[in-house]
Structure 1
């Protein structure tokens, strides 16, 4: 396959002769004549590829076929020889190419096999290392399990020994004072009683049997009736007895009552802020015992500010809210102290206000005051009804009774002339 510019003079002449053109002239003339002919045929000269050998062979074969002669067999033999040579060259080339490719492929495969063998050996080494480490860890775990089993056995033995000592120890503690168990009659808070009882049991190092005995003895009055609701099989169970008491006197069913009490709790007239805050805190914990600490803190602050007696302190607390209950109480105390210090100082007399008495006490006081006034009268205001003289009474009079009759007229006149009677002699209305 040859391009136009690569054609030689015989090839140019052959191409011109095939087109019926003159083959005379030099190479430049032949190229120019062939270019014009090919352009006239509409062929791109620069891109056209000439197949000269096949064309020459076909031309020779056609020419020899048209003009057969004694050399026709020889040319045919030559053509077959050329074809066989070309095929042998192609077979040699293909064999050479295949051998080179196979050698390259075999080399690449050998390299890949070598790499795979190396990777497999590394993986095998890592596997062996990991297996040895796992075996070491399994051995350590087995040793730890054996040690743990021995420790658990010792702990169980110590627990059994401790229970035996608690059951068989003397009633009185040696080297320390014994705390008496609190009593419970249902009037105090159950949570407080439970806390006191658990603390006493821990301090006295009571066992389960001791706690049951102390709890049964601690119940007084109507609270002792709870034992009747506990089945006989559970009367030796501390948790069952405590649960029965809690069902009756626990605060779970009274939470709504505590919530209403907290909502309607206001500071009393003679109640200090500290006392009021303590009561608010107690009611809040009873009313919202199962809520979170943040929620209880919020409810305490709201109830405390809502129930403040002083309007100025309440206004300041509402206008400057605080994050915690302690801060709110401290702020209210500061406001109250500032209000007291900012008031003008006036000297006032202390006035004692007596509480009103009942009607019966009032009547008794009036009679007692009248009798005291009568006994406090001076002797010059007392007149004897026997002799009519002033200064003594008839019981202490020394004048005989007959003489007093003779002087009765005088007494009457004296009585008539006495225009003013003592106030104490007036009848009480």
Structure 2
């Protein structure tokens, strides 16, 4: 830098000094010296400024480091406070939930008690109504039979022994169930329904059992029941064959009736097996018998459906053959006419 100052001319030095507020010295050496002192002062100021900046930077770094340390501590404290707050919130929520649950349980218990009280009242009302109905029923049972019969809306049909007792018994039980009869009322109704030879059975009832419904029913079973006819029905079932002009549906219905009469207590599987065998045996067409046996149907409705299908197919084949015969005859007639002409 000294070489640079020495190389400057006097006017240049004066101009530089005047820029910096230094003037009035004419000697070059003095000018150079004065200018150099000025520059050195400026450099010292800059150094001091730099030093002050460095000190400030160091202070800032120290403050930042302390702030970071304090920040970590503060963050740890905040995190701890948050954890404590969460635990407190969870405890409060648990307490609230427990309180709510207890309140709900208490409310449910109160409702259950109210419902139980209502049910008890309803049971009392039902018991009272049942007792009243029982009293009314007993009063009706004591009324004369003629007046009682006039109040009934459903009367069983009369029985003269011409229809099977098992069928009539079901009709009578249906009427008794609809009317709500007890055994005494059933005995009166059945006695009034007997006609002809069936009414003569009343003479065989002992005097001490004249109002016993069970005794009357047992007597009807002995006189008109199907138990003593089982062997007759079995013979009819074994000898049953399809009659001339009888449809497969009619044959199936009669076979089913006879099987139930012969085996009244058998299960459905046995009934179906016996009915299918009897139906196949009774079918008049031998080829149709073989087809049903080959099909291996297990129930009577399945066997009937298969037999009807085969019968329809056979009839369709016969109709086609008839049409072909007619067409062949027409063709032969046309050929004969052509030859004569």
Kindly tell me: are residues 243 and 160 of structure 1, through their superposed partners in 2, closer, same or farther at Cα, counting changes over 3 Å?
farther
Paired with 2:125 and 2:155, the residues of 1 have a C-alpha distance of 40
State how 1:42-61 maps to structure 2 within 5 Å: none
Higher relative contact order, structure no. (Cα contacts within 8 Å, ≥ 6 residues apart): 2
Q: TM-score, normalised by structure 1?
A: 0.43
Paired with 2:142 and 2:271, the residues of 1 have a C-alpha distance of 43
Hey, which of these two has a bigger chunk of helix by percent? 2
Paired with 2:123 and 2:208, the residues of 1 have a C-alpha distance of 37
Paired with 2:209 and 2:225, the residues of 1 have a C-alpha distance of 20
Shift of 1:198: 1.4
Equivalent residue for 1:237, pick from 212, 216, 221: 212
Paired with 1:332 and 1:190, the residues of 2 have a C-alpha distance of 33
Shift of 1:250: 1.1
Q: Would the aligned equivalents of 1:313 and 1:335 in 2 still touch at CA under 8 Å?
A: yes
The equivalent of 2:322 in structure 1 is 345
The equivalent of 1:333 in structure 2 is 308
SS in 2 for 1:254: helix
Q: Would the aligned equivalents of 1:258 and 1:286 in 2 still touch at CA under 8 Å?
A: yes
The equivalent of 1:18 in structure 2 is none
Q: Would the aligned equivalents of 1:166 and 1:206 in 2 still touch at CA under 8 Å?
A: no
Equivalent residue for 2:242, pick from 267, 283, 299: 267
Structure 2 residue 213 is the aligned partner of structure 1 residue 228: no
Equivalent residue for 2:189, pick from 206, 211, 214: 214
Gaps of 5+ in 2: 1-118, 327-341
RMSD (Å) for aligned C-alpha atoms: 3.0
Q: TM-score, normalised by structure 2?
A: 0.53
The equivalent of 1:198 in structure 2 is 173
The equivalent of 1:255 in structure 2 is 230
Equivalent residue for 1:281, pick from 241, 249, 256: 256
State how 1:5-84 maps to structure 2 within 5 Å: none
Larger radius of gyration: 1
Paired with 1:153 and 1:252, the residues of 2 have a C-alpha distance of 46
Q: Deviations over 1:214-235 (max 9, x none)?
A: 2112222222221122111211
State how 1:338-417 maps to structure 2 within 5 Å: 338-343=313-318, 344-345=321-322
Size of the aligned set, in residue pairs, is: 202
Paired with 2:142 and 2:215, the residues of 1 have a C-alpha distance of 20
Shift of 1:190: 0.7
The equivalent of 1:309 in structure 2 is 284
Q: Would the aligned equivalents of 1:190 and 1:246 in 2 still touch at CA under 8 Å?
A: yes
Shift of 1:156: 5.0
Paired with 1:289 and 1:163, the residues of 2 have a C-alpha distance of 37
Paired with 1:236 and 1:321, the residues of 2 have a C-alpha distance of 53
Q: Would the aligned equivalents of 1:167 and 1:207 in 2 still touch at CA under 8 Å?
A: no
Gaps of 5+ in 1: 1-143, 349-429
Structure 2 residue 146 is the aligned partner of structure 1 residue 162: no
Q: Would the aligned equivalents of 2:259 and 2:271 in 1 still touch at CA under 8 Å?
A: yes
Paired with 1:207 and 1:250, the residues of 2 have a C-alpha distance of 23
Equivalent residue for 1:293, pick from 264, 268, 275: 268
